[in-house]
């Protein structure tokens, strides 16, 4: 009996830290059916000019061929889905989401930390993930969740139990005690944390916090380099983690094959995090010329999350936020689109992100118009949400473009998004890993 139990005990004892960052997963791989997608246009995600009469051939969970109909051989007997006057695109990627837990504006949100059961956040995350996928976002990076709920949700999606996008998940965000990555508005003893929940007040504690998140499978590390809007006790942009603490996070994450995403609003905090070697500055609200030049020099990405500013200001105007948060929301909104112009001016790479959870889930595509209004071309905005985002994820070998050998993550929007970028808000077709989740006429796949 003991000999039979030993392999099981060894498996149970194996540390989850041995897991490498999650690679793109395709739940319940479909049978090797060949599907041919046709549409009036095709944009492949590389920034190349669109082609007319676009065709994508899918076999199983992979793209076999993509391009104009004149150059793509269609296998005999393939099932054809003709999408008509639409544009085929790679599945969209959102690099900054919070799909777990209540969204901003939920009437019960203020008390969620002390009233919701521990499983509640993951349960509502199931619906948020479904909405996100149906909106055409086949991949997301989830930057922070309590109780490792995002890792549980990722496993359920990858296992085919619930529909949702591919996920990179951060588990607990890492920041100073009382800072933006901490529950900082409760009485002493009610929401105290330590390295396990992401609180770190020295380089040693920061390193320990990284190790604890990766022990349970976090595949990206999120830090709070500065204060933020939706927390009490500080202004919106003050630096929080020190250079030494961020450097320790980056060093430890790099040792474990992870990238670091830095929540950073304030000018000085952006520069501190960039000098310390983070992979992305998320928000970047008060970016200046010096910071943009430094980001270009270091190869640091900007994930601007313009939607978050729009929705936070709306919440402030509607009286949803506390007076202190409302002041910060209006200040952050006033920073507005300037960061986009500075990034474009200095050649800072931009990846698409929304901070969904501040805004409603499933409306992520509203970010496209905000990026275009801020100075990006429609094609630049589309690339930010496809091949550029895939590069920042480190998943560009499998997602981000319509090319032979890539996962069959494909969406279609009506008309031409280069003429009307808001077409991205009306996704009519969604395929993830060769499985069709949405077709014209609102036929939506159920269950897995």
CATH number, residue 418: 2.30.40.10
> Is there a single domain that holds both residue 166 and residue 245?
yes
Token duo for residue 356: 């969904």
* Same-domain pairing of 233 and 258: yes
Lateral strand order in the sheet of 280-283: 221-224, 260-264, 280-283, 301-303
Cα 21–Cα 27–Cα 28 angle in degrees, nearest 5: 150
- 36, β-bridge pairs: 57, 80
Residue 306 in domain: yes
C-alpha torsion sign, points 381, 385, 386, 392:
positive
* Cβ 256 vs Cβ 224: under 8 Å: no
Residues 202 and 77 occupy one common structural domain: no
- 415: in domain: yes
Are 131 and 239 in the same domain?
A: yes
In a shared domain, residues 287 and 325:
yes
Residues 87 and 107 in one domain: no
Does a structural domain hold residue 247?
yes
User: Is residue 54 in a domain?
Assistant: yes
The answer to whether residues 342 and 286 belong to one domain is yes
Same domain, 86 and 110: no
Q: How many CA atoms lie within 13 A of 30 on its CB side?
A: 20
Q: Are 55 and 38 in contact (CB under 8 A)?
A: yes
Q: Residue 214: phi, psi to the nearest 5?
A: -75, -25
Q: Please list the pLDDT of the chain residue by residue as tens digits (448 residues).
A: 434 444 433 443 444 444 455 566 554 445 689 999 999 999 999 999 999 999 999 999 999 999 999 999 999 999 999 999 999 999 999 999 999 988 876 665 666 777 778 889 899 999 999 999 999 999 999 999 999 999 999 999 999 999 999 999 999 999 998 777 767 766 676 667 778 887 899 999 999 999 999 999 999 999 999 988 777 667 778 899 999 999 999 999 999 999 999 999 999 999 999 999 999 999 999 999 999 999 999 999 999 999 998 888 888 888 878 887 888 778 888 877 899 999 999 999 999 999 999 989 999 999 999 999 999 999 999 999 999 999 999 999 999 999 999 999 999 999 999 999 999 999 999 999 999 999 986 444 444 4
Question: By the 8 A CB rule, do 325 and 229 touch?
Answer: yes
Cα separations (Å) of 53 from 68, 200, 284? Answer: 6, 54, 39
* Number of domains the chain is built from: 2
Element (H, E) at 166: strand 166-169
Within-domain flag for 381: yes
Which of 168, 91, 99 lies closest to 137 in space, CA to CA? 91
Beta strands across the sheet bearing 92-97: 92-97, 137-142, 166-169
Residue 16 lies in a domain: no
Q: Does any domain span residue 115?
A: yes
Q: Based on the domain organization, do 187 and 70 belong to the same domain? A: no
Residue 84 within a domain: yes
What is the C-alpha separation between 335 and 107, in angstroms, rounded? 28
Task: Print the domain residue range for 197.
Answer: 92-393
CATH number at residue 331: 3.20.20.140
Token duo for residue 421: 């970028």
Q: Which two tokens stand for residue 69?
A: 């109909």
Based on the fold, state whether residues 262 and 376 are members of the same structural domain.
yes
Same domain for 168 and 214, yes or no, is yes
Bridge-partner residues for 444, per DSSP?
438
In a shared domain, residues 156 and 68: no
Chosen domain end from 393, 410, 434: 393
């Amino acid at each position: 009996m003991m000999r039979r139990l030993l392999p099981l005990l060894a498996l149970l004892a194996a540390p989850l830290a041995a897991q490498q960052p999650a690679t793109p997963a395709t739940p319940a791989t479909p049978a090797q059916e060949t599907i041919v997608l046709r549409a009036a246009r095709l944009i492949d995600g590389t920034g190349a000019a669109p082609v007319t009469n676009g065709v994508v051939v899918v076999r199983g969970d992979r793209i076999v061929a993509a391009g104009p109909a004149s150059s793509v051989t269609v296998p005999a007997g393939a099932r054809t889905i003709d999408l008509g006057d639409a544009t085929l695109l790679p599945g969209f990627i959102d690099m900054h989401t919070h799909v777990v837990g209540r969204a901003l504006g939920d009437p019960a949100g203020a008390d969620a930390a002390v009233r919701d059961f521990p499983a509640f956040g993951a349960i509502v995350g199931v619906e948020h993930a479904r909405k996100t996928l149906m909106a055409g976002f086949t991949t997301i990076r989830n930057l922070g969740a309590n109780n490792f709920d995002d890792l549980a949700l990722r496993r359920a999606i990858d296992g085919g139990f619930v529909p949702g996008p591919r996920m990179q998940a951060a588990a607990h965000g890492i920041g100073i005690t009382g800072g933006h990555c901490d529950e900082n508005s409760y009485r002493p003893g009610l929401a105290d944390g330590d390295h396990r929940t992401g609180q770190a007040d020295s380089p040693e504690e920061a390193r320990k916090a990284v190790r604890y998140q990766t022990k349970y499978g976090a595949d990206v590390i999120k830090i709070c380099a500065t204060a933020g809007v939706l927390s009490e006790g500080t202004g919106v942009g003050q630096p929080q983690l020190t250079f030494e603490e961020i450097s320790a996070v980056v060093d430890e994450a790099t040792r474990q094959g992870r990238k670091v995403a830095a929540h950073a609003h304030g000018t000085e905090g952006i520069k501190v995090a960039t000098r310390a070697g983070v992979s992305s500055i998320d928000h970047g609200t008060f970016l200046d010329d010096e910071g943009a030049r430094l980001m270009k020099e270091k190869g640091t990405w900007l994930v601007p999350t313009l939607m978050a500013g729009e929705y936070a200001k709306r919440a402030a105007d509607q009286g949803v936020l506390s007076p202190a948060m409302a002041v910060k929301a209006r200040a952050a909104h006033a920073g507005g689109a300037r960061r986009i112009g500075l990034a474009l001016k200095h050649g800072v790479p931009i990846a698409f992100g929304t901070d969904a959870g501040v805004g409603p889930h499933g409306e992520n595509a509203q970010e496209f118009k905000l990026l275009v209004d801020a100075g990006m071309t429609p094609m630049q905005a589309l690339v930010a949400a496809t091949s550029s985002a895939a590069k920042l994820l480190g998943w560009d070998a499998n997602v981000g473009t319509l090319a032979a050998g890539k996962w069959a993550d494909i969406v279609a929007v009506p008309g031409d998004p280069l003429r009307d970028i808001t077409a991205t808000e009306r996704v009519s077709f969604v395929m993830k890993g060769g499985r069709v989740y949405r077709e014209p006429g609102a036929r939506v796949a159920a269950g897995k």
